Amino acid sequence: MPAKDLWSQIQKQTRGRSEDEQLRILRRHLGELHDEWKGPYKDLRDKLRKLVARLEGHEATRSRSGQQDPFHVKSQGDARVVVAGLPNAGKSSLVAALTGAATPVADYPFTTTQPSPGMLPCEGGVLQLVDTPPIVEGLASGQGAGRPLLHLFTSADALAIVVDLSTDVLDSLATILEELTSVSIRPLPGPLATVLQPRGKGGVRFLGKPLGREEEEEARTVLADAHIVNAEVVVRTAFDIDQLRHQVEGELLMPTVLVATHCDSETGEQETLQEMMPGHDILVGQLQQPETLGNVGGALLKVLGYTHIQLLERPAPEAKEETLLLHLASDILRVAERGKISTKRLKGARVWGTSVPRPGQAVRLDHVVDAGDRVFLQS
């Protein structure tokens, strides 16, 4: 088998697997790649050796730390989605249904006492879903799983809030939001469009998509009013003054989807949920039949701000080689990294799509691509 095909096969086999499983698979393949093989096989062997060394490093750290903090969940995959909700809402059922991870499900509350991750492969990426102990009133003052649980929420790239529609939704959601507010989390119906990154020096800088003169002035005023003199404002997809304001006020903007469970009977609860969380995607279905939930992975990728671009094999828009899943506002360098292409000799790219005025335009490494762009990397 050509080295390139073997590499795609290995990627397929390891995707979504735990690190221990990945290590086993990589070691097996390494054993089959003979030392005297040259060219692309040698490159593949080197690549696998590096991956194995990295995973072995993780393994060593894990065993050294011995008794681990169960609330410290190692990040894996492209993004972390923490599944949150009241007791018995269906959090564990959701994670089990989507990832096949073994997590205890039972019809009595507090079955889940520790977070437990599972991996969800979707659309060329893989998401880490983290099942969690339930939210109860007063987490911040040590009730239930307490502060460690709140801290886990703040470590998420997105939240999936599970709500039982057979309960009083107004009440349930109010409790959840209050607990999230205690660590300044503000749910967001979509991806973070404008990011504030405080810096130690350098004044106020604007990065990402260019913004208009008035927008820049508005942003500078908001920052100055809060006495922020050093910061980077990164416009990922669009300039959003409200998002900037919330971040200036110390809020953690958290992309969030809702999952409604126990929706066997028609009540008005789903509408109530939507009214309380305007703009948020609500996934409704039977957890026992995950296919009824629709494309959960797709909804999560959307709220996280992921999109697809096409990598081209030749400088021609129809010469499609590979579809890549990328975060919105990724640049050419990131495209190459994601496509596992060496960035050492990379000079730039030619792009067909909405991020350039002219089809096939030559761009530099810091050019930010748009959803659906076709990219030919030039080295």
Closest to Mg ion by CB, 261 or 330: 261
Determine the Cα–Cα distance for residues 328 and 105; give it in Å rounded to an integer: 35
Helix and strand tally (H, E) in the chain?
Answer: 11, 15
H or E element: which one contains 377? strand 374-378
Integer Cα distance of 230 and 226 in angstroms: 11
- Measured in residues, the chain has a length of 379
DSSP secondary structure letter of residue 97? H
Q: If binding is defined by CB under 6 A, does position 81 make contact with ligand GDP? A: no
Q: Which does 14 bind (CB under 5 to 8 A by kind): ligand GDP, Mg ion, none?
A: none
Nearer to ligand GDP, 260 or 335 (CB): 260
Q: How far apart are CA 83 and CA 159, in angstroms?
A: 6
Identify what 224 binds: Mg ion, ligand GDP, none; CB under 5 to 8 Å per kind: none
Rounded to the nearest whole angstrom, what is the least distance from the CB of residue 90 to ligand GDP in the complex? 3
Interaction of residue 318 with ligand GDP, rule CB under 6 A: no
Q: Determine if 106 is a binding residue for ligand GDP (CB under 6 A).
A: yes
Rounded CA-CA distance 264/286 in Å is: 8
The answer to the question of residue 264 lying near ligand GDP (CB under 6 A) is: yes
How many beta carbons lie within 10 A of that of residue 371, not counting itself?
14
**Which of Mg ion, ligand GDP, none does 87 bind, CB closer than 5 to 8 A by kind?**
ligand GDP
Contact range with ligand GDP by CB under 6 A, out of 58-66, 103-111, 193-201, 316-324: 103-111
- Cα distance from N-terminal residue to C-terminal residue, the chain: 27
Q: Which H or E run includes 35?
A: none
Is residue 261 a contact residue for ligand GDP (CB under 6 A)? Answer: yes
The piece of 5-13, 99-107, 176-184, 323-331 that touches ligand GDP (CB under 6 A) is 99-107
Q: Which is nearer to ligand GDP, 106 or 174 (CB)?
A: 106
Among 76, 99, 112, 310, binds ligand GDP (CB under 6 A): 112
d(CA 228, CA 187): 24
Cα(252)–Cα(188) distance, integer angstroms = 10
Give the ranges where 227-326 is alpha helix by DSSP (H): 241-248, 269-276, 296-304
Q: Which two tokens stand for residue 126?
A: 């893989």
CB closer to ligand GDP out of 146 and 353: 146
Is position 99 an interface residue for ligand GDP (rule: CB under 6 A)? no
Q: Where are the alpha helices (DSSP H) in 305-376?
A: 332-338
For residue 308, the partner it binds in ligand GDP, Mg ion, none, with Cβ less than 5 to 8 A by kind, is none
Q: How far apart are CA 112 and CA 82, in angstroms?
A: 14
Site string for Mg ion, 108-127 (x = CB under 5 A): ---xx---------------
Among 87, 148, 189, 339, binds ligand GDP (CB under 6 A): 87
Asked if residue 332 lies in contact with residue 367, where contact means CB atoms within 8 angstroms, the answer is: yes
Instruction: By CB under 6 A, tell whether 173 contacts ligand GDP.
Output: no
- C-alpha separations of 117 from 101, 201, 276 in Å: 7, 38, 28
**Measured from the CB atom, is 231 or 259 closer to Mg ion?**
259
Q: Please tell me the count of residues contacting Mg ion according to CB under 5 A.
A: 4
Question: Interaction with ligand GDP in 117-156: which residues (CB under 6 A)?
Answer: 134
Interface residue with Mg ion among 92, 116, 237, 256 (CB under 5 A) is 92
Query: Under the rule (CB under 5 A), what is the footprint of Mg ion?
Result: 91-92, 111-112
Residues that bind ligand GDP (CB under 6 A): 85, 87-93, 105-107, 111-112, 134, 261-262, 264, 286-287
